[in-house]
Amino acid sequence: MAVKITPGMLLRAYSVGLFPMAESADHPSLHWIEPERRGVFPLDHFHVPRSLAKQVRRRDFEIRVDTAFDAVIRACAEARPERASTWINSTICSLYNELFSLGFCHSVECWKDGELVGGLYGVSIGAAFFGESMFSRESGASKVALVHLVARMKAGGYQLLDAQFVNPHLKQFGCVEMAQEDYKVLLENALQVEADFTQFRGDANPDLVLAAAGFPLSRE
């Protein structure tokens, strides 16, 4: 008989370097993942491309935080032209909604004309944020959400932004790969510190966002 995963079990798994995935959005079961190589964003070296900084400045989107968590995770679970199926099934949606209700999950959302057009979500424990997934229905929306997430993390005293895996898309922002044993040292240190996801109040001010994310405003 399969063991039912609880929110408490999920938090304990993250604290030792594990996270769950489903085979597909339609597959009912989950399995635990512990990559030998882990993707991490060094917060002090997060890179904002100049074109993205310009988009943040244009304020193409209204940024909201934690106002539509369920809608964000379900949008991340949707099939896309470049990806016929995702690893987010109904069990994951339910579990992470429970974590959200307990204050351990957050979403950063991009809105345009009253519609949710992009965003991301993840798990927050101590001073570690475990990025889970992101989506875009408008060009650049998930990238803008990522910049706002990093600004929020740095302002709130976070030490670790876990990307799980590295891919070419994430490398452009400074994502690096490290051995799991090195990752666990960073994780253990981050879990011993309290961070505040709500500390940042500057989402409506592009210059504050870019400065907090580490973009040198003198470049433009």
- Say what the pTM is: 0.94
| pLDDT number for residue 216 | 86
| pLDDT number for residue 130 | 98
Please choose, from the candidates 162, 150, 135, 132, the residue with its C-alpha nearest in 3D space to the C-alpha of residue 202. 150
Residue in the structure block whose two tokens are 């209204």:
62
pLDDT averaged over 10-residue windows placed end to end, the chain, 220 residues? 81 96 78 94 96 97 98 91 73 96 98 98 98 96 98 98 94 96 97 97 96 79
> Which strands sit side by side in the sheet containing 105-112, from one edge to the other?
62-65, 105-112, 115-125, 128-136, 160-164, 37-41, 176-179
| pLDDT number for residue 23 | 78
Domain boundaries, the chain: 7-219
3-state secondary structure the chain: CCCCCCHHHHHHHHHCCCEEEECCCCCCCEEEECCCEEEEECHHHCCCCHHHHHHHHHCCCEEEECCCHHHHHHHHHCCECCECCCCCCHHHHHHHHHHHHCCCEEEEEEEECCEEEEEEEEEEECCEEEEEEEEECCCCHHHHHHHHHHHHHHHCCCCEEEEECCCHHHHCCCCEEEEHHHHHHHHHHHHCCCCCCCCCCCCCCHHHHHHHHCCCHHHC
| pLDDT number for residue 1 | 44
**Domain spanning 7-219: CATH 3.20.20.370:** no
| pLDDT number for residue 86 | 79
Residue 133 structure tokens: 């997934």
**pLDDT tens per residue across span 172-195:** 999 999 999 999 999 999 999 999
Residue 14 structure tokens: 């993250």
